[in-house]
Structure 1
Amino acid sequence: MSDDPKPLLSLRGISKRFGASRALAGVDFSLRAGEIHALCGENGAGKSTLMNIIDGIHQPDEGTIALDGLDVRIDGPAHAMRLGIGLVHQEIALCGDATVAENIFMPEINAGGRAFMDYGGLNARAAKVLRRLGQDIDPAARVDELGISSQQLVEIAKALTLDCKVLILDEPTAALTELESAALFRVLHDLKAQGIGIIYISHRMAEIFANCDRATVLRDGRNVHCGPLAGTTPDELVRRMVGRDLGNYYPPRATLPEAPETLLQVDDIADGERVQGISFALRRGEILGIAGLMGAGRSELAETVCGLRPARRGSVRLGGKTLAIRKYADALRHGIAYLSEDRKAAGVFLDLPIAQNVCAMALRRVSSRFGLMERAAERKLAQDLGAQLNLKSDGVAIEVASLSGGNQQKVAIAKLLATKPSVLLMDEPTRGVDVGAKSEIHHILRALANQGVGVIVISSELPEIIGLCDRALVIREGRLAGELGTAEMTEEGLLRLASGLGEQEMQ
């Protein structure tokens, strides 16, 4: 990387340890002005540690950092901001009880020390930034009233208000739909044209190859590749990331019988708000995809089916039997389990050990007939499910917070499997996990389907819907916009239904 023409940002020989764990070992990295540089690697490869060093959150044990050719010591995020470095974290870090506008301009508000605030002006400025991202989010709304996708867009909007030379984005599209992601990339290319250097961290190969100029690959805390994307392929980049060939990224589909058994039947279900009367069937042994734009009602549909949202009308039948589901515990008792899209808030208990997480919803399986917990049984169940899911950890007694994103997601899935479900509703099951873990989760879901479990996958990633699912439902404005079979599923077809274009053509 010594041949970089006048790098805007240059890191040389960066090493970092946390106790006995080595996070980075002699990493070199450079960013040019006016480029979008992809930083790739599996979870745990060192990407976040390197970005936290650039943002001043951590100090390197060894190595130097130069900005505009001058060596710098970055003492913290506030200092990084003054130097012109902005970081959008993968984990949303907004103030929930403040408004959208207050969050977007929080650094300015904190620095200003004003006695009075012009909220009208603040809201107008926030609305302008959001419109740049193609959004009409209410600037006066409290952040904790927004969904994950909208919160992520607020995080990005906040970064756009900073006068950055260097902008770092860590998985910015993990919670965004295809259309929202397209709006973000238009903004990033505008910033690139203005000479801003952008470090882009993502596991989505299509995004990287469509928008980035160069890629640096980290593996096990070392950089193993840096070069222009024009001279490589997605498969080659993935091999460098994982150090092996993933083979078939998506598992082969199973051949269902000509008259497959209907496992789950949902008729005219509605919550009176976001779900407006949807009917569908899930067959035993199939993976059914649910696609749609942000706010279409995909997650709300799953939550209504499993009792997390009250149903105003409609019915749910499992194996031909009508169920009375008034709360989530009822759904679990009948064998219907739901994986939330927000892993950290509703999927796992980060500060508890793996074993306690896995068994949290299946206490009867690890308790004596007198209701006392049997720790040996708890440990054995967690170990068995961990082995089934290829969970990588230093035993089941360690806290989930110490695991990579992909392994945290496997713990969340193991927690559901401990309940012995016959139906799994998986909301964004591979959000924020690396390509290797994604492929493993895809194969896990197919294996479960092959065992007779009915699997529903809600995903904002259209390639995932197309590559993994046997059929796809498309939800638009709380209603079923259409259904596509395996042979009919294309990104264009899914988007046309999701946006309403297909209906317009038929009228």
Structure 2
Amino acid sequence: MPPPLLALRGVSKSFAGVQALRHVSLAIAPGEIHCLAGENGSGKSTLIKIMSGVNQPDAGKIEIDGRIMAGLTPREAIAHGVQVIYQDFSLFGNLTVAENLALGSELRDRRRIINWRRMREHARTAASRLGVALDLEAGVDTLPTSGRQLVAIARALMADPRLLIMDEPTTALTGREVERLFTVVRDIQARGIAVLFVSHKMREMLDISERLTVIRNGEVVTAGPIADYDEAVITRAMTGSDIAEEPYRWDRGTTGGTPVLAVAHLTVEGELEDVSLDIMPGEIVGVAGLLGSGRTELALALFGMRPTYRGSISLHGRATRLANPQQAIARGIAYVPEDRLTEGLFMPASIDRNLLASSFAALSRYGLIRRRRAADAAAGMLREMAIATPTGARPVMQLSGGNQQRVVIGRWLLRHPSLLILNGPTVGVDVGSKASIHRKIRDLAGERGLAVLMISDDIPELVATCNRIAVMHRGRLVDMLAAADTSEAALADRLGALT
């Protein structure tokens, strides 16, 4: 039997006394799709860095083609065919697609003068290897997330990899984009290239991989053929406990008869057309739709970021005009954006400052912040949102994705909103944190009467967490479904029919 393409044997790694990996063994066969699963903080990123030569193990061995690699460096890993596509893609946003694709070969050949014709030819070759159409002259920063990901994959294929490591590749992709990515991954496998698919999304693991390795707290807890696993088994392995979610039940009898939000004939030129919607106190209303359906545009209009809208918006029975986010906030509307890293958080700032960012005016007197009151407010929200940190003074960038999302939600809860708009509330969040965030949203709705508008690509999330689901297509609201009468398969079929 031939040796594995890459194998780790009893690898351990610690940082400043904190054990990140403990006696981890993992083998990847040539041409297989292998999934590495684990929650945020489980050690997945450290394992990737050891495989790619960025970090050196404290103990254990790294083998490539059966040969022990002592002191593996990134250059040696690349020379042996190991390529990594990180979550941020590591692309140059100010350059074109062609320039991003060809830059590596230009640097490798130590060329000092750019030959634009040669560069475009290299880029066309990279795109053809991937088998997809790419606009080579487009600026990378103008592409959607799925487009940037394809550029990163195409660039990696230019190095003739034998093992392609994809770190959380579906974090910001829609369902349709995930299907497209999986087609690309299977095409890559058909060429004999092994793929290590790093993820915490169970359904994707079951769909794409042939073998699975799950790590928790830096240790391998289970490994084997994917056919031996289902969602419940993987969840238990990742979290150490069983996580089950009951569908949300909204009790109309416990709330008043006036909607928190009533939208009638809302229209934004080129984005929304004749959208009517209402949300009662304690309701969680989901919004489903394909890319370009108008989901995010609806959220932006309700948060005052589409001031030229036509139609009416009423809050608690009173008509209002939302011309900017400040007006929306003053009227009790909170918005948690989909991209928390660039739109929701001040990454170098402390957790406390991020929590208080929308409340400083309320916590000030004569222009001066009342520090004791601010500290108490931040500490109270840390406890309420169960944010895992020894102190709020830490930079928010040091938190896991789930804890970062709790910070963004907690910031708005300090404003005591009556309407909370969540755009992709659990994007990039592991299964344990996801369940915790869902419980918090339900508690806020059920106990405080908070009205929630939840936009999501995650069909199970919508069915389990919402009591109604609005389906959007090309800027219109085309259906309103009762979640209790809707299955995941039925909602998926409804969305699939919207082409």
Check whether TM > 0.5: yes
Residues 386 and 251 of structure 1, relative CA distance in 2, 3 Å threshold: farther
Report the Cα offset of residue 331 of structure 1: 0.9
Cα contact 2:471–2:478 (8 A) shared by 1: yes
What is residue 116 of structure 1 aligned with on the other side? 115
Conserved 8 A contact 1:472-1:483: yes
- Looking at structure 1, the residues matched to 485 and 152 of structure 2 have their Cα atoms a distance apart, in angstroms, of 36
* Number of the residue aligned with 2:436: 440
Distance 1:131 1:330 in 2: 48
Among candidates 401, 414, 436, match of residue 418 of structure 1? 414
- Show the counterpart of 1:234: 231
Q: 1:449 aligned to 445, 448, 470, which one?
A: 445
Between the aligned partners of 1:310 and 1:76, the Cα distance in structure 2 is 53
Residue identity in the other structure for 1:148: T
Query: Equivalent residue of 2:427, what SS?
Result: coil
Give runs of aligned pairs for residues 35-434 of structure 1, distance below 5 A.
35-73=32-70, 76-112=73-109, 113=111, 115-118=114-117, 121=121, 124-125=124-125, 128=128, 132=132, 138-246=135-243, 248-250=244-246, 252-257=248-253, 261-367=258-364, 369-434=365-430
- The structural deviation recorded for 1:137 is 5.8
Distance 1:163 1:332, change over 3 A: same
Distance 1:240 1:289 in 2: 30
Please identify, of 275-284 and 167-176, the stretch whose mean Cα deviation from structure 2 is larger.
275-284
Query: 3-state SS of the aligned residue for 1:363?
Result: coil
CA distance in 1, matches of 2:264, 2:128: 42
Deviations 1:35-72 (A, max 9, x none): 21111111101001111221223222322211111222
Is the CA contact (8 Å cut-off) linking 1:268 and 1:278 kept in structure 2? Answer: yes
1:428 is displaced (CA, Å) by 0.8
Instruction: Tell me, yes or no, if the aligned pair for 1:130 and 1:137 is still in contact at 8 Å.
Output: no
| CA spacing shift, 1:471–1:120, aligned 2, 3 Å | same
CA distance in 2, matches of 1:501, 1:351: 41
The answer for the alignment partner of 2:481 in structure 1 is 484
TM-score where L is the length of structure 1: 0.90
After the TM superposition, which of the residue ranges 424-433 and 92-101 deviates more from structure 2? Answer: 92-101
What is the distance in 1 between the residues matched to 2:495 and 2:127?
Answer: 25
Amino acid at match of 2:432: G
Alpha-carbon distance in 1 for matches of 2:426, 2:233: 21
Paired-residue identity, %: 38
Change (3 A) 1:397 1:35: same
Q: Deviations over 1:291-343 (max 9, x none)?
A: 11122222122112202344332332111122222211111111111111111
In structure 2, relative to structure 1, the CA distance for the partners of 1:180 and 1:7 (3 Å cut) is same
TM-score by length of 2: 0.92
SS in 2 for 1:262: coil
Shift of the 421–235 alpha-carbon distance from structure 1 to 2, 3 Å rule, reads same
Count of matched residue pairs? 494
SS at match of 2:62: strand
Whether the aligned pair in 2 keeps the contact of 1:269 and 1:311 (CA below 8 Å) is no
* Structure-2 change in CA distance of 1:272 and 1:162 (3 Å): farther
Q: Is the 8 A contact 1:340 1:426 kept in 2?
A: yes
Q: Residue 88 of structure 1 contacts residue 155 of structure 1 at CA under 8 Å; is this kept in 2?
A: yes
Residues 1:7 and 1:458: Cα distance change in structure 2 (over 3 Å)? same
Query: Per the alignment, do residues 21 and 372 of structure 1 end up closer, same or farther by CA in structure 2, a change over 3 Å counting?
Result: farther
Which position in structure 2 is the counterpart of 1:33?
30
Question: What is the CA deviation profile of residues 16-40 of structure 1, one whole-angstrom value per residue up to 9, with x for unaligned ones?
Answer: 2222322112221111112211111
**Displacement of 1:104:** 3.7
Q: CA deviation at 1:438?
A: 0.4
- Any unmatched runs of 5+ in structure 2? none
Tell me which stretches of 4 or more aligned residues in structure 1 moved more than 6 Å.
none
Q: Distance in 2 between matches of 1:487 and 1:249?
A: 13
Contact persistence 1:270–1:304 (CA under 8 A): no
C-alpha contact (below 8 Å) 1:127/1:137 kept by paired residues: yes
Unaligned runs of 5+ in 1: 503-507
